[in-house]
Structure 1
């Protein structure tokens, strides 16, 4: 049976529990693209950084291990960030 909790973006591949949220932290859900379903910890982000979204490293994007996946806050639902494409 697989664990229903979402994976936390940025946890190490050998982390014994990459799905545990840290108490007091703020997370957004990544929707679509290669990181679909993962959570991103935005606790340290400023308001502007949260509004801008993020370019996140992803081995599974169009450009492979050196590429980035662009995620932007969903209008009207800033707790979900939508994938808008990949870049090198």
Structure 2
């Protein structure tokens, strides 16, 4: 169903980029937050380090069921101290 507030039709495959310091704490925090909102078997994740290996970018693709679900994930990720930025 197409949401009136967005150009997306749900359910849809949704890519989410999360950036933080290159640490196990960052990766663990992101995966824990995603498990709160998603079925783990439907999540794919790719990792990319910055040129100096200080930062890590995770691109997570999942099946988004609704705008509310996506908004809740963004809110929780952005409120976590390990997360520097989301796109």
Higher-RCO chain (CA-CA 8 Å, sequence separation at least 6):
2
Does TM, normalized by the shorter one, top 0.5?
Answer: no
Q: TM-score range by the shorter chain?
A: under 0.3
* TM value normalised by structure 1: 0.23
Structure with the higher fraction of residues in helix conformation: 2
